[in-house]
Structure 1
Amino acid sequence: MILKVFSLVALLAGFGSAALAAEGKLSIGTEGAYPPWSMADAAGNVTGFDADVGNLLCTKLNMECHFVVQAFDGLIPALKAKRFDVIISGMSITEERKKEINFSVGYAELANMFVVPKTSELAGLKEIDPLLRGLAGKTVGVQTGTTHARFIEKRLPTVNLKTYDTLDNMQIDLATGRIDAAFADASALQDFLAKPDGKDFQFVDVKIQSSFDASLGEGIGVGIAKENTALKAKIDKALCELVADGSVGKASVKWFKIDISRPCN
């Protein structure tokens, strides 16, 4: 289902906080520039896995979805400012983020990977320790405000870290040789490799799961304001049911070709 975007400007100017609390409506913050998780086109339509999860939730809760596109690093401040009700944007659950907002149960998880030129000495590595050692002194691109940025800062202090506001800008620099490697979840980088600009690049065959380091989070969850405990309880119940009945898995196969759903504990 294609969902129309409500711009942040329109939301602030025309709807206000009363609309956010309107009965039967759920306002969802998402990045809109992180395929295949969340994509917003020029006409204001949001598609992707995040949109499908949002739509599944709204159907389960008998609510109407409205998506608000917001830069990823501004999603948590905007949620705390009550500009929307929840965040659904491929956001990993981390201890640092949990200090500011609550999260639903984790409903998905995907491996994190590096992409490098096929000619790179890193391209043939298959174990994590040699990969981390080999990245020393390299310039690595990540998206601002992500768990990938925190992982590099924590585990690879000798790396020249370069941050980007969008995945597209990072991929442009990778394609033009301004960075030696890019680090993101495998699904997002797969989209780059499928493009003409990605023909001379490949994954390093090392999948880094969140269990490897706490900085990579505890799976993907819905971000919810700390005071909104009633909504969290409803979303947790709905997500567990949607994972259990295969709905989230089916949506993930549609976008990622694999089931990345994460069962409730």
Structure 2
Amino acid sequence: MNFKALSLALLLAGASTVQAAEGQLSIGTEGAYPPWSMADAAGNVTGFDADVGNLLCEKLAMKCKFVVQAFDGLIPALKANRFDVIISGMSITQDRKKEIDFSVGYAELANMFVVPKSSDLAGIKDIDALLKGLEGKSIGVQTGTTHAHFVEKRIPSANLKTYDTLENMQIDLTSGRIDAAFADASALQDFLSKPDGKDFQFVDVKVQSKFDSTLGEGIGVGISKDNPELKAKIDEALCTLVADGSIGKASQKWFKMDISRPCN
């Protein structure tokens, strides 16, 4: 590598650290996963992710800048220094930790399946019976999520269909092109509360990380591996925001429940 190329590489490698040091924290988020993050036509982001980001920026005395990015492109974009951190309802998993660092977990999800009320799956209340009942079924998940990995591992006979957005998955569910949708309960509750969801229901089984490690270790902020100083600051800030109830209050606002995860 010549001197100019080396200089450019070093500049790119430090871009996110420099930007954060200048008082701005750029945050990658999906913007199409209500109520976690929603982006309007002007690029303005609202939702639980946005509230967590704004709380974090306030605690760090930084200005937030949200960057909308498809979920399956968030980690590659972080590694390419398009933004400083990811705040997008992202579960902490061993596979993802090979690519990037994570903050402490600040939220915990309940993952659930949604099916038509007329489905033979609707009355199941046991995880083993549910997994058996889903064998051979068409199951919708969002691309690149822990839900996709779980279905691939635990229900290999299922016809797995992946979608770039939650909305597109819900369209196929309502049209009968898939038998079930799998995502976090908070996101699917938004669908069930609308007219399009009136003929659908949750299967009464909360699929949690204790059933399989592919579901992760809580929700965390994704951070570049070359930015340990920023990780330390974010960890400290998140623990404070959970302890003082700020993140719990934000989750009550968007989910009508407290999904915050204590640091200890």
Give the TM interval when normalised to the shorter protein: over 0.9
Task: Report the Cα distance in structure 2 between the residues aligned to 1:208 and 1:64, rounded to whole angstroms.
Answer: 37
Q: Which runs of 5+ in 2 are unaligned?
A: 1-13
Spell out, residue by residue over 1:216-243, the C-alpha distance to the aligned partner (whole angstroms, 9 max, x if none).
Answer: 0000000000010000000000000000
Contact residue 20 and residue 82 of structure 1 kept, 8 A: no
Amino acid at match of 1:110: L
TM-score under structure 2 length normalisation: 0.93
- Alpha-carbon distance, 1:20 to partner: 3.3
Percentage of matched positions with identical amino acids:
82
Q: How does 1:198-213 map to 2 (within 5 A)?
A: 198-213=197-212
- Alpha-carbon distance, 1:17 to partner: 4.1
For the pair shown, which has the larger CA radius of gyration, 1 or 2? 2
Q: How does 1:1-265 map to 2 (within 5 A)?
A: 17=15, 20-21=19-20, 23-265=22-264
TM-score under structure 1 length normalisation: 0.93
**1:53/1:21 CA distance change after superposition, 3 Å:** closer
Amino acid at match of 1:31: E
Spell out, residue by residue over 1:136-173, the C-alpha distance to the aligned partner (whole angstroms, 9 max, x if none).
Answer: 00000000000000000010000000000000000000
Report which stretch shifted further, 50-59 or 16-25: 16-25
Query: Which secondary structure state, in structure 2, belongs to the residue aligned with residue 212 of structure 1?
Result: coil
Amino acid at match of 1:217: G
Task: Report the Cα distance in structure 2 between the residues aligned to 1:131 and 1:21, rounded to whole angstroms.
Answer: 46
- Alpha-carbon distance, 1:110 to partner: 1.5
Spell out, residue by residue over 1:6-25, the C-alpha distance to the aligned partner (whole angstroms, 9 max, x if none).
Answer: xxxxxxxxxx9487345110
How many residue pairs match? The answer is 250
- Alpha-carbon distance, 1:34 to partner: 0.2
Contact residue 187 and residue 256 of structure 1 kept, 8 A: yes
Contact residue 43 and residue 68 of structure 2 kept, 8 A: no
Query: Which secondary structure state, in structure 1, belongs to the residue aligned with residue 156 of structure 2?
Result: coil
Contact residue 20 and residue 83 of structure 1 kept, 8 A: no
